[in-house]
A and B are shown apart, each in its own frame.
Chain A
Amino acid sequence: MTVVTSNAPSTRSRRLRALSVVVGLAVVASCAGPSTTPTGMTSSIAPTMPMTPLSATPPSPDPRVGLGAGLFDAEEAAWNLSVVSKTPPPDPFVGRTNSDLAFKGNYVIQGNYDGVQIWDVTDPSSPTTVITYVCPASQSDVSVAGDLLFVSGEGMTGRLDCGPGGVADAVSQERLRGIRIFDISDIRNPEYVHNVQTCRGSHTHTVLEDPNDTENVYIYVSGSAPVRPAEELAGCSGLLPADDPNSALFRIEVIRVPIDDPAAAAIVSSPRIFEDLVAPPTHGLAPDDLAVIEAARDRGDFIVDIMGQTVVLPPRYTAPLLDSMMAARGGESVTAADSMALREALPALMARMVGGGDGREGMGPTQCHDITVYPMIGLAGGACEGYGLLLDISDPVDPIRLAAVADSNFSYWHSATFNNDGSAILFTDEWGGGGAPKCRASDPYEWGANAIFTIEGEDMEFQSYFKMSAPQTSLENCVAHNGSLVPVPGRTIMVQSWYQGGISLLDWTDPTNPVEIAFHDRGPSDAERMGAGGSWSVYWYNGYLYSSEISRGLDVFELTPSPVMTQNEIDAANTVRFEQLNSQGQPEIVWPHSFALARAYVDQLERHRAVSSGWVTEVRAALAAAEQASGSARVSSLNGLASQISGAADESRDPAKVRMLVDVVRGLATAQ
């Protein structure tokens, strides 16, 4: 599968900040009283049964197959999650494409091809409109940073003045393709403060908040549409870098936005992160082949380069060409002059015959579709046409490519998500561009799927594919799309959109064994023909899953407990709180110490049979007793429990997780 891996010739060392996964750190709480063993644990931690990998028992037959169609009343199927609310779009956006989501406080900001919709989700069971801001431009990818809102414009219809009607002229000073910047300090009255025009517009963008720079935010602009003419935006060139060093191809744009003066935002660099990303080195011609070509050259045969291959043209090609040379000069028979003329004309002729000839063949990507930055570890994942990239972003203005992977099963690298400790990365393949039905029973599992890689030093190593498995009809556009981590502690769980394939929860804690653990799906939006619809993106935010439905508005879901996800795990996830969220600016998830967190770890140890069932029962009882207690009694019982668990950790089948439990129990004692 993986056909190419190439490392950038980077000499800069990568400043990979270690994540704070504190395992087995012996924190002794000095304020705690004498250690006692109030629970008097008697069971051995060692399990008697072998450890089990995660497996789920999805409903059978799959209820997602055969759902009835409908725009606002399609049949639905859900497993391990429940619908909290379904809110249709505001009137101005009905029949217009909803796109990506960003979050700030109690607000959900939803992009639409005609503008931006801001929802108040203080009550997630009934989102209400704060403002419907009409300002057409596809795709209206949205991000927030403090009081600033950024919106992508790529399509030809975006106007500087946000007006309707598009821009008819191919070259126009009215057109906006790039980033719009709004001040949303008063969220009910967004103020359009600035825009930054880019040569290829902005299909998506990524906000990078560098932990070492509190005065600026950075925007990585990805634009996959054609380059604008220089007459429309000065300096834009669609030529190859070899022909024009200022080519807008083969680069991304980095915008620096001074937080206190967003009107001064401007492009500060255009890193060529695709440099040297070409076909892997291949050997040239074998000596015997070279000898054949040299002999042909000596004979005076016509020799051409076609797509980097040296080819001797056979007479059946050259004879008619020589004839036409002769005819052009009005001659009667082919002479040396015709042969000379043909020799001169051949390179251009061949270029015209075999197409291209602009030198772009065999070169790597010219743009990314999307970049996910993970500032806490100084890395980014770039999903860039035919490649997945790993970037060092410790200097935001100068991202450096560390590794690149290609995969013959992947059509179009679309987006990336890291796991929380930065040891693995998941890429999606938007095969067919998102408008095509790529989840039919006949579509291969590996195509239009996710590919999971582990990060090994500065390399990526392929581990597995995952594709939402319920076959969809040919009336449902379906392929891997956007998602985010769901902060269940101790596991890597992601919720992901599959357009009209619905949303799906995926556990990829073990990168070699991705398992689907929940889903929601609707029937087609139209029974007769491929209608617009499906989930563009779904992200976890402060306890709920928010899905941007292309036609149907905003959906809100919550997780429901099941054997693959206990209530304790859900409760522990819901202790995580974000002030804002852009899924492509991945935040580090940190869990506050809570009894739910401790119980979640116990549940996980039990699920995988990493510990004995007797031990589980006793630890749960001890935790319950400690929670009931208060003051020094609670402290001493927690410390006692921690000591006992800690001492036996190595006898379990998952000492690392047992130590994570110890850490939480000690943390709970310290918090008293």
Chain B
Amino acid sequence: MRSVYIQLPGLPDEGWLEQRSIDDATFLMTRIRALSVLTVLFGPIVAVGCASAGPATTGSATGPSDTDRARLEALYRARTDSAFLTVHEADARFMTGMIHHHAQALVMSHLAPQNGASESIRTLTGRIINAQTDEIAVMQRWLRDRGRPVPEVDQSGHMMGGHMQMAGMLTPEQLEELAAARSQEYDRLFLTYMIQHHNGAVDMVDVLFATDGAAQDDFVFKLASDIQVDQKTEVARMQRMLDAMPARETP
């Protein structure tokens, strides 16, 4: 049994059907049905060949007429929905794993105020919270749109339910160590562990791209590429911050 959200084109209510429990066989049938509805309504999605004209497109200061608008919106929804029906396992696995991965970054970052982080670290953690909260939301939406199980995360980054250990994620011991650290020691550990954490995300992207059939979805491709460059950039920035810290007091 699994819980899924599904959206079917052509139904009177375009909104989300409520969450329901169905077994895999029912889910598969639903997908096949939805696909045939699409094909009947709109024909093949992509025009084969190079040049393609289609109905003449014209512009005006007021935009498309009501009739045109209805037709274009139906076509738009059909295209978007059809994308939901072709999901590669590796993409779904990547998105699911990355939610777990990002969630831990939130946990690590939310410690900053209570652990006496310096102002520059608090700026950094603020950024990470902002960026990764947004990315978690889009990854959840991606999975939800495709009827996949959606890992739920609370505001501070705690997983509601199971917890997956992805590349670069802190061990429970490391997390405890970070939670116990204060002031400059927190800053130093945060940077060290967040660099480790980010590098893990970069590794996850590498794995994704090395998988046959993966990242054909434009959205996954873009998100994964963005995560790779954003986190590499942030690793370099954090390394500069770490280098600039005063030498560690040795025991």
Contact = CB atoms under 8 A, between A and B. Distances in A.
B54 A92 contact: yes
A133 B240 CA distance: 46
B69 A72 contact: yes
B79 A361 contact: no
A125 interface: yes
B132 to A, nearest CB: 10
Contacts of B196: 353-356
A365 B244 contact: no
Given A125-B60, A134-B49, A307-B195, A97 B218 contact: yes
Contacts of A293: 250
Interface string A91-132: 110111100000000000000011000000000011111011
B195 A354 contact: yes
A243 interface: no
A162 interface: yes
Interface in A361-400: 361-367, 369, 385-386
Given A86-B62, A126-B58, A436-B131, A366 B199 contact: no
A530 B69 CA distance: 20
Secondary structure dominating the interface of B: helix
A138 B218 CA distance: 7
A307 B48 contact: no
Contacts of B54: 90-92, 132
B36 interface: no
A529 B240 CA distance: 38
Nearest to A288: B247
A4 to B, nearest CB: 7
B34 interface: no
B: interface residue count bin? 35 or more
B200 interface: yes
Contacts of B218: 97, 113, 138, 155, 157
Interface stretch (B99-107, B146-154, B157-165, B223-231): B223-231
Interface string B32-51: 00000000000000111111
Contact of A127 (B59, B123, B130, B237): B59
Contacts of B225: 154, 203, 224-226
A436 B127 CA distance: 13
Which of the listed residues B56, B68, B222 has the most CB atoms from chain A within 10 Å of its own CB? B222
Contacts of A114: 46
Nearest to A436: B134
Given A96-B79, A307-B192, A447-B127, A355 B199 contact: yes
Interface of A: 3-4, 71-73, 83-92, 94-97, 113-114, 125-129, 131-136, 138, 154-157, 162-170, 189, 192, 203, 224-226, 229, 279-280, 282, 285-286, 289, 292-293, 296, 306-309, 311-312, 314, 353-356, 360-367, 369, 385-386, 406, 408, 411-412, 431-433, 435-438, 443, 447, 528-530, 532, 551, 553-554, 556
30 contacts: A4-B240, A84-B61, A85-B59, A85-B61, A87-B57, A88-B68, A95-B77, A113-B218, A128-B58, A134-B49, A155-B221, A156-B214, A156-B221, A279-B239, A282-B244, A307-B192, A307-B239, A311-B248, A355-B195, A362-B236, A362-B240, A362-B243, A364-B236, A365-B236, A386-B236, A432-B131, A435-B226, A436-B131, A436-B134, A530-B137
